[in-house]
Amino acid sequence: MDNRVRIVRCASYGDASVGRAVAEAVEPWGGFGAFFKPGQRVVLKVNLLRGSRPEEAVTTHPAVVKAVAAAVREAGATPILADSPGSGLPYTERTLEKCYRRSGYLGLADETGLELNYDTTSREVLFDDGRVAKKFTVITPVLEADAVVNLCKLKTHTFTMLTGAVKNLFGVLPGFDKPAYHARIRTVDNFADVLLDVAFFVKPAFSIMEAVVAMEGNGPGAGEPRNVGLILAGTSPLAVDTAAGAITGLPPENHPVLRAAAARGIEPNRPEDVDVVGPALEALRVPDWKWPPTVAGEGGFAGYGPLQGILRALLRNSLSVQPRVRRERCTGCGLCRESCPVSAISVINDKSYIDEKLCIRCYCCHEACAHDAIQLRRSLLHRLVGGRF
């Protein structure tokens, strides 16, 4: 297992700055020429979510896509940008075109000739090595690629705490297959197992995490941009996520993906397991990183002993963070309803309503809403003891 993570400073999205940082990031492995052969097709698996302006820090920034695509071309291979957008959006040509336009990828394709995927077919695959997911559906461009470069973005996530290299690969599942998993797999620990299974199936040649401007707070779609000024790279998505957790100050036991990896005995899952090439992780720690209300209570991060596990299961709803609709912001677009895996949302008279009894607290609606109209409110009990439980 190659646990190296190359960390490079990158202060801005200027072409020269990003181009240098990407070249330095892959240099310890001998550059992309060591991975790709002339004529190969290499999918750049970006984070498209629902398509957003680059300055909102929701999607992989086009400047980073541009630099990585150029490096793939230098190796003689052909880059193809692909992703299935996030919760609530169908995987159609029309949706892809809209998301590409909003994210600046259409402009990039015009400027550089980068191929954007519009093939919306997918195929079921069997994965005997999966712990939870042994059969799932994957978008065709990923299945047909010679290699995948995982081009993720560092963001907080209301359900999985952080979204990074492992979580980004969940986007190879088409459209509504993603919320369907939330309906079937309701705990974050089991969901993290699915994320690991999918990541091990895709097995990207390389993961590059874009954290020039990351997202803190209510990520992955409604948080605030945060200047971090880094690009992280490695062949192991887990290693990249472990380093990102240390940089943001997320203890490994509070990082569901790392917890799932530890339970399987897969390394790396702790900062000390990572071979950092570049500045030490402690020197890169972002001060006062803002977490979503689903992550930390006033007393800090939740504990993960056996007692906490039992109490958390017993008090699941009263200890959780509830999604509430801000009626004044709601446009009635219905995207939250489409994203809800358990049909807990209705739209009546152009306003969204959530049935709290049906809600499983997956926060797909929060991720789907482009109007910041879903607020996450901590219950009284969560406020009182959330830091311990």
Give phi and psi for 324, each to the nearest 5.
-130, 145
Instruction: Label residues 264-296 b or e (16+ Cβ within 10 Å = b).
Output: eeebbbbbebbebbbeebeebebeebbbbbbbb
Q: Do the Cβ atoms of 135 and 127 come closer than 8 Å?
A: yes
Question: What's the one-letter identity of residue 310?
Answer: I
- Choosing from 339, 382, 386, 389, the residue that interacts with ligand SF4 (CB under 6 A) is 339
**From 33-41, 260-268, 298-306, 368-376, span contacting ligand SF4 (CB under 6 A):** 368-376
User: Cβ of residue 369: shortest distance to ligand SF4, in angstroms?
Assistant: 3
- 340 near ligand SF4, judged by CB under 6 A: yes
Is residue 374 near ligand SF4 by the rule CB under 6 A? yes
From the list 234, 359, 382, 386, which residue makes contact with ligand SF4 (rule: CB under 6 A)?
A: 359
> Is residue 334 within the footprint of ligand SF4 (CB under 6 A)?
yes
Q: Does 332 bind ligand SF4 (CB under 6 A)?
A: yes
SS3 159: coil
Alpha carbons 212 and 61: distance in angstroms, whole number = 9
**CB of 182: closest distance to ligand SF4 in angstroms?**
7
Region binding ligand SF4 by CB under 6 A among candidate stretches 71-79, 197-205, 251-259, 352-360 = 352-360
Min dist. Cβ of residue 300 to ligand SF4 (A)? 24
In degrees, rounded to 5, the angle at the alpha carbon of residue 70 between the alpha carbons of residues 66 and 73 is: 140
89 contacts ligand SF4 (rule: CB under 6 A): no
The single-letter code of the amino acid at 287 is: P
Q: What distance in Å separates the CA atoms of residue 322 and residue 50, rounded to the nearest whole number?
A: 22
User: What is the rounded distance in angstroms from the CA atom of residue 20 to the CA atom of residue 67?
Assistant: 9
CA 198 – CA 208 distance, rounded (Å): 17
Does the footprint of ligand SF4 cover residue 336 (CB under 6 A)? yes
42 and 145 Cβ atoms separated by less than 8 Å: yes
Of the candidates 104, 369, 382, 386, which one interacts with ligand SF4 according to CB under 6 A?
A: 369
* Smallest separation, CB 306 to ligand SF4 (Å): 27
Residues 6+ away with beta carbon under 8 Å from 195: 160, 166, 167, 169, 170, 257, 260
Binding positions for ligand SF4, 308-327, rule CB under 6 A: 323, 325
Residue 145, token pair as written in the block: 């690629």
CB 255 within 8 A of CB 189: no
295-to-17, 44, 318 alpha-carbon distances in Å: 34, 30, 15
Give least dist CB 346 to ligand SF4, A.
10
47 binds ligand SF4 (CB under 6 A): no
Closest contact distance (angstroms) between CB of 297 and ligand SF4 is: 19
Nearer to ligand SF4, 71 or 335 (CB): 335
Chain centroid offset of residue 314 CA:
29
Q: Which of 342, 381, 384, 385 binds ligand SF4 (CB under 6 A)?
A: 342
141 touches ligand SF4 by CB under 6 A:
no
Could you tell me the smallest distance in angstroms from the CB atom of residue 160 to ligand SF4? 13
Which region among 56-64, 285-293, 347-355, 381-389 touches ligand SF4 (by CB under 6 A)? 347-355
Q: Which is closer to ligand SF4, CB of 50 or CB of 226?
A: 50
Residue 276 interacts with ligand SF4 (CB under 6 A): yes or no: no
CB of 102 to ligand SF4, least distance (A): 16
**CA separation for the pair 340, 360 (Å, rounded):** 9
Q: Site for ligand SF4 (CB under 6 A): which residue of 67, 246, 247, 354?
A: 354
Rule CB under 6 A: which residues touch ligand SF4? 323, 325, 330-336, 339-340, 342, 344-345, 347, 352, 354, 359-365, 368-369, 371, 373-374
